[in-house]
Protein backbone atom coordinates (compact mmCIF):
# COMPACT_ATOMS: atom_id res chain seq x y z
CA UNK A 1 0.00 0.00 0.00
CA UNK A 2 1.27 3.45 -0.81
CA UNK A 3 1.58 6.30 1.64
CA UNK A 4 -0.85 9.14 1.07
CA UNK A 5 0.69 11.32 3.77
CA UNK A 6 4.22 11.07 5.10
CA UNK A 7 5.66 13.60 7.53
CA UNK A 8 9.16 13.05 8.87
CA UNK A 9 10.70 14.92 11.82
CA UNK A 10 8.69 18.04 11.08
CA UNK A 11 9.31 21.20 13.11
CA UNK A 12 7.35 24.45 12.85
CA UNK A 13 7.81 27.45 15.13
CA UNK A 14 5.99 30.75 15.37
CA UNK A 15 8.39 33.20 17.03
CA UNK A 16 9.35 31.46 20.26
CA UNK A 17 6.51 28.92 20.09
CA UNK A 18 7.47 25.50 18.80
CA UNK A 19 3.99 24.54 17.56
CA UNK A 20 5.16 21.28 15.93
CA UNK A 21 8.21 19.71 17.50
CA UNK A 22 9.71 16.77 15.60
CA UNK A 23 6.52 15.15 14.34
CA UNK A 24 6.45 12.04 12.16
CA UNK A 25 3.14 10.75 10.84
CA UNK A 26 1.91 8.62 7.98
CA UNK A 27 -1.37 7.57 6.40
CA UNK A 28 -1.81 4.61 4.06
CA UNK A 29 -4.07 4.88 1.04
CA UNK A 30 -7.68 4.17 1.97
CA UNK A 31 -7.20 4.90 5.67
CA UNK A 32 -9.16 7.20 8.00
CA UNK A 33 -6.85 8.81 10.54
CA UNK A 34 -8.19 10.59 13.63
CA UNK A 35 -5.82 13.35 14.67
CA UNK A 36 -6.41 14.08 18.33
CA UNK A 37 -4.87 16.45 20.83
CA UNK A 38 -5.47 19.20 23.36
CA UNK A 39 -6.13 22.81 22.37
CA UNK A 40 -2.96 24.35 21.00
CA UNK A 41 -1.25 20.94 20.54
CA UNK A 42 -0.40 21.72 16.90
CA UNK A 43 -3.12 19.93 14.91
CA UNK A 44 -4.15 22.85 12.72
CA UNK A 45 -0.52 23.79 12.13
CA UNK A 46 0.23 20.22 11.02
CA UNK A 47 -2.86 20.16 8.80
CA UNK A 48 -1.77 23.41 7.14
CA UNK A 49 1.61 21.85 6.37
CA UNK A 50 -0.14 18.80 4.87
CA UNK A 51 -2.03 21.22 2.62
CA UNK A 52 1.09 23.20 1.69
CA UNK A 53 -0.37 26.35 3.28
CA UNK A 54 2.58 26.45 5.70
CA UNK A 55 6.05 25.10 5.05
CA UNK A 56 8.00 23.27 7.74
CA UNK A 57 11.13 24.82 9.30
CA UNK A 58 12.68 21.35 9.44
CA UNK A 59 11.76 17.88 8.24
CA UNK A 60 9.86 16.71 5.17
CA UNK A 61 6.20 16.61 4.13
CA UNK A 62 5.06 14.34 1.33
CA UNK A 63 1.39 14.19 0.28
CA UNK A 64 0.01 12.01 -2.53
CA UNK A 65 3.64 11.19 -3.31
CA UNK A 66 4.66 14.83 -3.88
CA UNK A 67 5.05 18.29 -2.43
CA UNK A 68 1.69 19.75 -1.31
CA UNK A 69 2.78 23.19 -2.52
CA UNK A 70 2.65 21.73 -6.06
CA UNK A 71 -0.70 22.62 -7.71
CA UNK A 72 -1.04 19.14 -9.23
CA UNK A 73 -0.83 17.63 -5.73
CA UNK A 74 -3.21 20.22 -4.29
CA UNK A 75 -5.79 19.38 -6.93
CA UNK A 76 -6.14 15.98 -5.25
CA UNK A 77 -6.90 17.48 -1.82
CA UNK A 78 -10.24 18.42 -0.28
CA UNK A 79 -10.10 20.69 2.76
CA UNK A 80 -12.57 21.68 5.42
CA UNK A 81 -10.93 24.47 7.46
CA UNK A 82 -11.36 24.86 11.21
CA UNK A 83 -13.07 28.22 10.71
CA UNK A 84 -14.45 28.24 7.19
CA UNK A 85 -15.17 31.55 5.55
CA UNK A 86 -17.25 31.50 2.41
CA UNK A 87 -18.63 34.46 0.51
CA UNK A 88 -21.75 35.46 2.48
CA UNK A 89 -23.73 36.64 -0.54
CA UNK A 90 -23.45 33.34 -2.42
CA UNK A 91 -25.92 30.51 -1.90
CA UNK A 92 -24.77 26.92 -1.35
CA UNK A 93 -24.83 25.80 -5.03
CA UNK A 94 -22.89 28.95 -5.98
CA UNK A 95 -20.22 28.18 -3.37
CA UNK A 96 -19.85 24.63 -4.67
CA UNK A 97 -19.71 25.90 -8.27
CA UNK A 98 -17.02 28.41 -7.28
CA UNK A 99 -14.79 25.71 -5.80
CA UNK A 100 -15.66 23.21 -8.53
CA UNK A 101 -14.59 25.66 -11.26
CA UNK A 102 -11.32 26.32 -9.42
CA UNK A 103 -10.69 22.58 -9.65
CA UNK A 104 -11.35 22.62 -13.40
CA UNK A 105 -14.69 20.78 -13.28
CA UNK A 106 -17.18 21.32 -16.10
CA UNK A 107 -20.55 22.95 -15.40
CA UNK A 108 -22.71 19.85 -15.87
CA UNK A 109 -20.55 17.75 -13.52
CA UNK A 110 -20.61 20.59 -10.97
CA UNK A 111 -24.42 20.76 -11.16
CA UNK A 112 -24.73 17.00 -10.70
CA UNK A 113 -22.25 16.84 -7.80
CA UNK A 114 -23.86 19.88 -6.13
CA UNK A 115 -27.28 18.29 -6.13
CA UNK A 116 -25.95 14.97 -4.79
CA UNK A 117 -23.71 16.51 -2.12
CA UNK A 118 -26.25 18.99 -0.77
CA UNK A 119 -28.70 16.08 -0.49
CA UNK A 120 -26.01 13.95 1.19
CA UNK A 121 -25.14 16.58 3.79
CA UNK A 122 -28.86 17.20 4.32
CA UNK A 123 -28.94 20.93 3.71
CA UNK A 124 -32.61 21.96 4.02
CA UNK A 125 -34.07 22.57 0.56
CA UNK A 126 -35.46 25.98 1.50
CA UNK A 127 -31.89 27.14 2.16
CA UNK A 128 -30.40 26.15 -1.20
CA UNK A 129 -31.25 29.46 -2.83
CA UNK A 130 -30.66 31.73 0.14
CA UNK A 131 -27.35 33.57 0.70
CA UNK A 132 -24.96 32.00 3.20
CA UNK A 133 -25.28 35.01 5.50
CA UNK A 134 -28.72 33.65 6.45
CA UNK A 135 -27.39 30.16 7.35
CA UNK A 136 -27.04 28.75 10.85
CA UNK A 137 -23.66 27.49 12.10
CA UNK A 138 -24.42 23.85 11.34
CA UNK A 139 -25.83 24.73 7.91
CA UNK A 140 -22.51 26.45 7.08
CA UNK A 141 -20.61 23.43 8.33
CA UNK A 142 -22.69 21.21 6.02
CA UNK A 143 -21.82 23.45 3.06
CA UNK A 144 -18.16 23.26 4.11
CA UNK A 145 -18.21 19.46 4.03
CA UNK A 146 -19.89 19.46 0.61
CA UNK A 147 -17.30 21.99 -0.62
CA UNK A 148 -14.43 19.75 0.51
CA UNK A 149 -15.86 16.84 -1.51
CA UNK A 150 -17.08 18.61 -4.65
CA UNK A 151 -14.10 17.68 -6.86
CA UNK A 152 -13.94 14.12 -5.52
CA UNK A 153 -10.47 14.50 -3.98
CA UNK A 154 -8.07 11.63 -3.31
CA UNK A 155 -7.40 12.89 0.22
CA UNK A 156 -9.85 14.63 2.48
CA UNK A 157 -8.36 16.88 5.17
CA UNK A 158 -10.92 17.92 7.78
CA UNK A 159 -10.16 20.23 10.68
CA UNK A 160 -12.80 19.55 13.34
CA UNK A 161 -15.57 18.45 10.99
CA UNK A 162 -18.14 17.65 13.70
CA UNK A 163 -18.25 21.20 15.07
CA UNK A 164 -21.76 22.58 15.06
CA UNK A 165 -23.40 19.50 13.53
CA UNK A 166 -26.60 18.15 15.07
CA UNK A 167 -26.85 14.39 15.78
CA UNK A 168 -28.60 13.68 12.48
CA UNK A 169 -25.97 15.59 10.51
CA UNK A 170 -23.21 13.74 12.35
CA UNK A 171 -24.79 10.46 11.34
CA UNK A 172 -25.05 11.58 7.72
CA UNK A 173 -21.50 12.80 7.82
CA UNK A 174 -20.21 9.48 9.18
CA UNK A 175 -22.01 7.66 6.37
CA UNK A 176 -20.57 10.07 3.83
CA UNK A 177 -17.02 9.46 5.10
CA UNK A 178 -17.49 5.69 5.08
CA UNK A 179 -18.82 5.78 1.53
CA UNK A 180 -15.95 8.00 0.42
CA UNK A 181 -13.46 5.65 2.08
CA UNK A 182 -15.11 2.57 0.53
CA UNK A 183 -14.75 4.23 -2.87
CA UNK A 184 -10.98 4.47 -2.31
CA UNK A 185 -10.61 7.88 -0.63
CA UNK A 186 -8.30 8.61 2.31
CA UNK A 187 -9.10 10.91 5.24
CA UNK A 188 -7.30 12.77 8.01
CA UNK A 189 -9.50 14.63 10.46
CA UNK A 190 -8.83 16.43 13.71
CA UNK A 191 -11.42 16.21 16.44
CA UNK A 192 -12.12 16.81 20.10
CA UNK A 193 -15.20 14.63 19.87
CA UNK A 194 -13.67 11.30 20.81
CA UNK A 195 -16.91 9.32 20.69
CA UNK A 196 -17.52 10.47 17.10
CA UNK A 197 -13.88 9.93 16.15
CA UNK A 198 -14.06 6.42 17.52
CA UNK A 199 -16.85 5.54 15.11
CA UNK A 200 -15.01 6.44 11.92
CA UNK A 201 -11.26 6.18 12.35
CA UNK A 202 -9.10 3.18 11.42
CA UNK A 203 -6.10 4.69 13.14
CA UNK A 204 -5.39 7.47 15.59
CA UNK A 205 -2.53 9.83 16.32
CA UNK A 206 -2.50 11.75 19.60
CA UNK A 207 -0.59 15.00 19.75
CA UNK A 208 0.65 16.84 22.81
CA UNK A 209 2.76 19.98 22.65
CA UNK A 210 3.71 19.40 19.03
CA UNK A 211 4.75 15.77 19.51
CA UNK A 212 2.99 12.50 18.80
CA UNK A 213 2.46 10.67 22.09
CA UNK A 214 0.61 7.73 20.50
CA UNK A 215 -0.16 6.47 17.05
CA UNK A 216 -1.64 3.17 16.07
CA UNK A 217 -4.41 1.25 14.38
CA UNK A 218 -7.77 1.06 16.11
CA UNK A 219 -7.79 -2.70 15.43
CA UNK A 220 -4.84 -3.11 17.74
CA UNK A 221 -7.01 -1.80 20.57
CA UNK A 222 -10.23 -3.57 19.68
CA UNK A 223 -9.34 -6.71 21.66
CA UNK A 224 -9.64 -4.80 24.90
CA UNK A 225 -13.23 -3.62 25.41
CA UNK A 226 -12.18 -1.27 28.20
CA UNK A 227 -10.01 0.75 25.81
CA UNK A 228 -12.18 3.47 24.40
CA UNK A 229 -10.69 6.47 22.76
CA UNK A 230 -11.25 8.80 25.69
CA UNK A 231 -9.41 6.46 28.03
CA UNK A 232 -6.60 5.95 25.54
CA UNK A 233 -6.34 9.71 25.04
CA UNK A 234 -6.15 10.44 28.77
CA UNK A 235 -3.70 7.64 29.50
CA UNK A 236 -1.32 8.61 26.68
CA UNK A 237 -1.38 12.24 27.78
CA UNK A 238 -0.81 11.15 31.38
CA UNK A 239 2.14 8.94 30.35
CA UNK A 240 3.69 11.90 28.60
CA UNK A 241 3.51 13.95 31.80
CA UNK A 242 0.18 15.79 31.57
CA UNK A 243 -0.90 16.49 35.14
CA UNK A 244 -4.52 17.25 34.30
CA UNK A 245 -4.87 13.94 32.46
CA UNK A 246 -3.31 12.13 35.44
CA UNK A 247 -5.91 13.75 37.72
CA UNK A 248 -8.73 12.81 35.35
CA UNK A 249 -7.72 9.14 35.44
CA UNK A 250 -7.81 8.91 39.25
Ligand X SMILES: Nc1ncnc2c1ncn2[C@@H]1O[C@H](COP(=O)(O)OP(=O)(O)OP(=O)(O)O)[C@@H](O)[C@H]1O
Tell me which residues touch Mg ion (CB under 5 A).
Answer: 43-44, 82
CB of 72 to ligand X, least distance (A): 26
Per-residue binding string, ligand X, 60-99, x by CB under 6 A, is ----------------------x-----------------
Choice between 186 and 190, CB closer to Mg ion: 190
Instruction: Measure Cα distances from 15 to 45, 53, 150 in Å.
Output: 14, 18, 36
Counting residues that bind ligand X (by CB under 6 A) gives 12
Does position 17 interact with ligand X (CB under 6 A)? The reply is yes
Segment 36-65, which members bind ligand X (CB under 6 A)?
37, 39-45
- 203, interface contact from ligand X, Mg ion, none, CB < 5-8 Å by kind: none
Closest CA to 243 of 208, 214, 211: 208
The arrangement of strands across the sheet holding 77-80 comes to 77-80, 155-159, 186-190, 32-37, 203-208, 211-217
Choice between 44 and 114, CB closer to ligand X: 44
Choice between 186 and 190, CB closer to ligand X: 190
- 17, interface contact from Mg ion, ligand X, none, CB < 5-8 Å by kind: ligand X
Q: Candidates 4, 5, 10, 19: give the one binding ligand X (CB under 6 A).
A: 19
φ, ψ of residue 23 to 5 degrees: the values are -95, 130
Choice between 77 and 95, CB closer to ligand X: 77
Choice between 41 and 245, CB closer to ligand X: 41
117-124 long-range CB contacts below 8 Å, 24 or more apart?
A: 117/146, 117/149, 117/150, 118/92, 118/93, 118/142, 118/143, 118/146, 120/146, 120/172, 120/176, 121/145, 121/146, 121/169, 121/172, 121/173, 121/176, 122/168, 122/169, 122/172, 123/92
Binding site for ligand X (CB under 6 A): 14, 17, 19, 37, 39-45, 82
Amino acid sequence: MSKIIELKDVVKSFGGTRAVDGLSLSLEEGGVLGFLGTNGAGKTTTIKMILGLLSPDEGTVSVLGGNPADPSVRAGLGYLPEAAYYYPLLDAPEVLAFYGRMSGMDESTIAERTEDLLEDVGLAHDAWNRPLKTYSKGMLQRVGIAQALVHNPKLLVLDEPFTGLDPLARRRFRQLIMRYRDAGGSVIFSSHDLSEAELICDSVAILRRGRIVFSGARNDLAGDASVNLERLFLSKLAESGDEEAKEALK
